[in-house]
Structure 1
Amino acid sequence: MSFGQRIKAAREQAGITQVELGEKVGVSGVAIMRYEKGTRQPRLEQFQRIASVLSVDVNWLMHGQTLEERDQVWKDQVARRFEEATSHQKQRSPFKPGESYFGGDMRVKNVTVSPDGKETVTIDMDIGKLSSEDVMGYLEMFNKMAKLGITVDGISRLIDAATNITNMAPNPSQDPPGAPPAPAGDTDTPTAQDAPEGAKEGE
């Protein structure tokens, strides 16, 4: 809405004619008509008089916003830009919400950065097709991310899988399954009796 349209709307709301408004403001009715059409712009003092006569805010009449509304718009814009800039500056991981990574093994649900700079990446892991090496590799990667201040949320199933893998690993201190029992008594391996010196084998 232009300033002329605002003058006309306020005048009609007040229920007075262009001529009546002109008389109260100190200009002709033709001048008011030109203001409303936008072919002529009032000076500041004329805006102030019109606003006073029509009981409207002069800033709204001139710019379409009161001072409070204008200040709030600026505050909102600054806050939004600051939040966007802060988020981009502090996010250290390359992950984006809604994207899948590592051949579809991991899907990112959300990425948040707290005011103190701590980043949390919420994920879904498809562990059904992961090998034991894959599981341990992902956990190692997430552990390195944690040391950088990047927490990965949603890896409980991956941790469970890693725990199962660890529990199933053979213990080097124990004999492998199916190994023959160790001989009783002396643990030295028995050897054939030495033959007399100079005797041929088989004699």
Structure 2
Amino acid sequence: MAEGDGLEDLRAAIAACRICRDAPARGAEHRLPHEPRPVAVISSAARILIAGQAPGLRVHESGLPFNDASGDRLRQWLGVTRAQFYDPGLFAIVPMGFCFPGYDVHGSDLPPRRECAPRWRQTVIDAMPQIELVLAIGHYAQTWHLGDRRAATMTETVRNWRSYLGSNTGPAVLALPHPSWRNTGWLKKNPWFEADVLPVLRARVEKMTA
């Protein structure tokens, strides 16, 4: 199905965005470590939106979202192949921040840049009215997509997944932890996630991508 000029114009505008690079300097810790390279997959056909946090370094280098170990785990959670995952007819992939924000002093990825979501998020969501399911990965995506329905912690938000799937007037939202290998300990402490949430996730994904 051909896409209108509007979506192509939006993709081009996002690719050219430099607001986080050109924001007023607030010290070295607020500067991007690299030239911005916005990464997002916007689709007129996908029924599922993967709402992540921000690209990591490997994603920044390749320009391909979730092209890392986190992506391998996420694809396992979804029960899809790599080819399916990168099919824009099946999945839109739009993080809260489009560019790699750099690392903190402990070597962990910094949060998504604060300039990105206010400028782009609603515009992108409005451009994809066909989305039926949002996979909100991590605190930042859950805060934006769930608003005041989000629980006090990420764990409790994910634990309340049934309420978000069943009571939305817009797209259903399924809250997920980040698939980073840093969260392996969290998965071991919360076995209910793999036992209860993943079967529902895989069943929904299979039905919506068939």
Q: Which TM-score bucket, shorter chain as reference?
A: under 0.3
TM-score, normalised to structure 2, is: 0.19
TM-score, normalised to structure 1, is: 0.19
Structure possessing the higher relative contact order (Cα contacts under 8 Å, 6 or more residues apart): 2
